[in-house]
Amino acid sequence: MFNEPRRINRRQALAVGGALTLGSLIAACGGSSDGEATGTAPAAAPPAGSGKPIDALTVSVPQLGDLLHTTRSVGPILGITLLGLEPLLLYRPDGRLGPNLAESWRQPSLTRYVFRLRRGVRFWDGSPLTPADVVASFQVHAGRSTVSASASYWTKVKRIAADGDEIVVDLSAPEPEFIYTIARTGVFSADFARRRGDRLGSPSALNMGTGPYRFTGFTPMSRVQMERNDRYWGRAPPIGRIDARVLNQDNLLLGVQSGDVDAAFALPVSQLKSFASLPEFSLTNVADAAVYKFNMVVDRAPWDDPHLRRAFAHAVDRETIAAGVLNGAAPATTLEPPETFAGALPRAEVERAYAELATLLPAYDLDKAKQELAQSRYPDGVETTVLVMASDPNLSAITQTAAQGAGEIGIEIKVREVDENTYNNAVYLRHTTDGLSIDNFGAGGPDLLNIPDLTLNSSNIPPTGFTDVANYASDEVDRLLAAASRLKVDDPRRARLALDVLRTAAEDLPYVPIAFPQVYLGLRDGLAYSGFNAFWWLNRWPDQLVAQG
Amino acid sequence: MTGKAIATFLARRLAAAVLVLLVVSVVVFLLIHLAPGGPEQAVGGEFATPQQLANIRASLGLDDPLAAQYWQFLSHAVTLDFGSSIATREPVVDAIRSGLGVTAPLVLVSFLLICLIGTALGTLAAYRAGGPLDRATVGLALVGASAPAFVTALILLTIFGVQLQWLPVFGDGDGFVERARHLVLPIATLTIAGTTAMLQITRTRVKEVLGEDHVTFARARGLSSRYVIERSVLRNAGIQIVTRSGTIVVGLVSWGLLVETTFGLDGVGSLLVKAINARDIPVIQGVTLLIAAFIVTVNVVVDLLYFALDPRVRMQREVRA
């Protein structure tokens, strides 16, 4: 299975107002249009209102890759990469998939996807796009020898082949959400890649795609410069030049104040109030597809004791943390925001299910916490160290707050700040924490089973995976997930199975969900953005941006 | 001074320099291998599978003995071939060259300004020692030096970038003119931070020299002030000023790292920080050796300037030679 805990925490919420609208909720969730597509028009939805072209745009993004290549593009990095190296299918702001380089696609069986390539598309150097380019672009992620950061999305891919104008992908087992992998996989020129060899994607070689914006400059992890592709096959790109930068918080604030920054995705948490106070800058926020959670390794002492886990869960004041530390975020009662289910199930049904999930998660109650601890093997409490990293100050703040409640019942928590590599190694890769850890787990794609599968499927325990950081293995959950994998991605039964998975996990309590954060977009006056959603980086976002007036 | 004396001196200094560089490279090499994560994670990403990590280790020769890996590095490094960045695939030399396009003008122009302004104001203050000009100059310089560089940077950015909007607030600019515009504030920050040290040593030494007999005698002979300053005062104060210059230019390299971060410049400092975060061994080694080589070179230059400025040093060397 795949995994992508995005380190997006630094841009989470100190609220500056802006309640979620129904529209944004729907946009943020993962409806899909799996199966046959009939449309052949360019997929991008036209922005609302009347706009005028934008000559140049400087945009702040949370992350850029060390290579300008699809193998090093995950999460928000795709927000830039996919503008040049465009995918076969486009994830639209309304949560649906639309045709792009593939003019249509079909799924003849649960394990076979067939994409018909659009004709007449050319790379920036004038060479034609062929099925062989697509096959090469897919193959860099598949196979045992791949070094792609997206490799885990491709582990079930058995065969990739061209058949005339079609590209056929066969899986070894059903994986309904694989269609989203197609929407997040850019296509590059195989010939260009061959000629550049190992230097493909480096500042001197750049990359070659068919997208609406061609790359003109690249500084690893800092900056990507792009220009409009005037010969783009689809709708004329609305922005002349895009200068995408990763800025530190001070530079970003100063850049917005001086007018050097026009738009900023995923604004940093610590300065949201400063951004909100700027007179010519407006903020938009939506629920991010992510959850802050405590993880308890359930297959070794001391957290294998369910009473200890329940004691700790009772000692965590989620309401206070959501309001105080993540001001404006919604307290979490499970691993997945309810917005994820919008469109997949009737709203009333989702609300009923979430009300039940709320009763299953131990509520903040120190008396009950003490009772649970007394029943555990550790009536005198335990001592543990929780790792945090500086890039997400919320991790430390949440843990410190939780430690106060836990300390009152005898669970002594020390907070230790480490660098990102150490944190990722201990928490994700090797599961070598003391047993209790905290993270902000972001969905790698819009599918409603993305987070439950990554965090609860026993196949994601090392050595076969690592995102099940609690080492939680449940036959019941595995059975439910396997059943869901045999259903189409938009089948309501699949959504109900997802709710069953969450129920089962709530009873076993490998995780203590804390809060669902928000993601913020900032725009200077004169710009408007339609359909901002948690997966903005999968959308062709320049098409959603318009200059007004 | 004989050529032999200079040659002997230079040979000793260069041998010491090579030894220092070797020690630096060994230490850095070993430290990186002890760090958590390892270079294979830089290539495979944080979430690479164990199989991927194993493949990467094999392809990069990371499973070879450390000594073999080090020898491989060293034999290439002597030809300035540090290999390619593990993360960005870019040849390390290219990445350093690109970074030097920002860092070299930043450090060198700042250094020149510090020397110029520091010695001029220091001399002026010494001549007017105790007077209002002296107090004002020293006071202002102290304020500049006391403020942390990032605070100075933020004040300059707020005034000239945000309020007046004369200069850009981040980035290093494309082309000569834009690059120069982008470097004005970073250079100003470094200059403000570094001038006090130069001013103080100049003021102190010039004031001391001004009180010495040979200056009094030169003045009594009616020699012009300019002649006295150039030939008697500054030349005599020169040894200490040159020594301080060496420490300032070395300090500018580390201050420059902070300033590059504050101003969002993609210089050598930023390159090093990114490489350390990514465990990008070739880049770390290349940049570290570059910095070490620079510091060693500065020290050799300072020693050579002693030769030029102080006849006593020359005499000593000649006697030894």
Q: Does the pLDDT of residue A34 top 70, yes or no?
A: no
CB contact under 8 A, A421 and B37: yes
Residues 6+ apart with CB under 8 A from A374: none
Give residue A75's pLDDT band: very low, low, confident or very high (50, 70, 90).
confident
pLDDT of A44: 40
Kindly report which listed range (A32-41, A390-399, A528-537) carries the lowest average pLDDT score. A32-41
Q: How many A×B Cβ pairs under 8 Å?
A: 126
Q: What's the one-letter identity of residue A286?
A: V
Q: Which of B105, B73, B283 is nearest to B186 (CA)?
A: B105
CA dist., res. A257 & res. B170, Å (int): 12
The reply to whether residue B266 touches residue A74, judged by beta carbons under 8 angstroms, is no
CA distance A322 to A369: 20
**What is the distance between the alpha carbons of residues B196 and B294, in angstroms, rounded to a whole number?**
23
In this predicted structure, the answer to whether residue A339 has a pLDDT above a threshold of 90 is no
Q: What is the ipTM of this complex?
A: 0.76
Q: Give B45's pLDDT tier (boundaries 50, 70, 90).
A: low
Does the pLDDT value for residue A111 go beyond 90?
A: yes
Closest CA to A520 of A349, A146, A145, A266: A266
The CA–CA distances, whole Å, from A120 to A101, A128, A231, A233 equal: 10, 7, 11, 8
CB atoms within 10 A of CB A219: 23
How far apart CA B302 and CA B305 sit, in angstroms, is 5
pLDDT, tens digit, for every residue of A126-154? 999 999 999 999 999 997 778 788 887 89
Work out the pLDDT band at B213, boundaries 50, 70, 90. confident
Q: For residues B258-276, give the mean pLDDT.
A: 89
Task: Tell me whether the omega of the peptide bond preceding residue B50 falls within 30 degrees of 0, making it cis.
Answer: no
pLDDT at residue number B49: 65
Chain B residues lying within 8 Å of A72, measured CB to CB? 45
Q: What are phi and psi of B145, to 5 degrees?
A: -75, -30
> Is A257 in Cβ contact with B47 (below 8 Å)?
no
How high is the pLDDT of residue A442?
A: 87
Residue A4 predicted with pLDDT over 50: no
A279 at interface of B, judged by CB pairs closer than 8 A: no
Mutation site for A-interface testing, chosen from B89, B96, B102, B262 by largest number of A Cβ within 10 Å: B89
pLDDT mean over A6-11: 30
Contact B90 A245 (CB under 8 A): no
DSSP A236: P
A144 and chain B in contact, CB less than 8 A: yes
Gyration radius from chain A CA atoms? 23
**Cβ(A438)–Cβ(A398) below 8 Å:** yes
Average pLDDT, chain A: 87
Q: Rounded mean pLDDT of A436-458?
A: 92
- Express as a percent the part of chain B with pLDDT over 90: 24
Q: How far is B194 from chain A (nearest CA, A)?
A: 23
CB-CB: which of B51, B88, B171 is closest to A67? B88
State how far the Cα of A269 lies from the Cα of A274, in Å rounded to an integer.
10
Chain A residues inside the 8 Å CB shell of B43: 147
Higher pLDDT, B199 or B318: B199
Contact A198 B84 (CB under 8 A): yes
Instruction: Classify residue A118 by its DSSP letter.
Output: P
Tokens of A430: 């090797």
Which residues of chain B neighbour A152 with C-beta distances below 8 Å?
Answer: 47, 49
Across-strand partners of A295? A437, A511
Q: Which amino acid, residue A73?
A: S
| Range A195-219 average pLDDT | 95
| pLDDT-wise least confident of A117-126, A225-234, B51-60 | B51-60
Task: Look up tokens 């300008």; give the residue.
Answer: A68
Would you call the peptide bond into A302 cis, given omega within 30 degrees of 0 as the criterion? yes
Number of Cβ atoms within 10 Å of the Cβ of A173 = 12
Mean local confidence (pLDDT), B293-299: 88
Cα–Cα distance for residue pair A362/B53, rounded to 1 Å:
40
Mean pLDDT within B254-261: 88
Strand partners, A293: A439, A513
Of A74, A145, A258, which to mutate for an interface test with B (greatest number of B Cβ within 10 Å)?
A: A258
Residues of chain A found within 8 Å of residue B32, distances taken between Cβ atoms: none
Q: How far apart are CA A139 and CA A120, in angstroms?
A: 23
pLDDT of A250-283, one tens digit each?
A: 899 999 999 999 999 998 876 788 899 998 899 9
Instruction: Give the residue with greater pLDDT, B11 vs B1.
Output: B11
Q: Which residues of A touch B261 (CB under 8 A)?
A: 248
Average pLDDT over residues A368-392: 94
Contact A147 B43 (CB under 8 A): yes
* B65 contact partners, CB below 8 Å, separation of at least 6: none
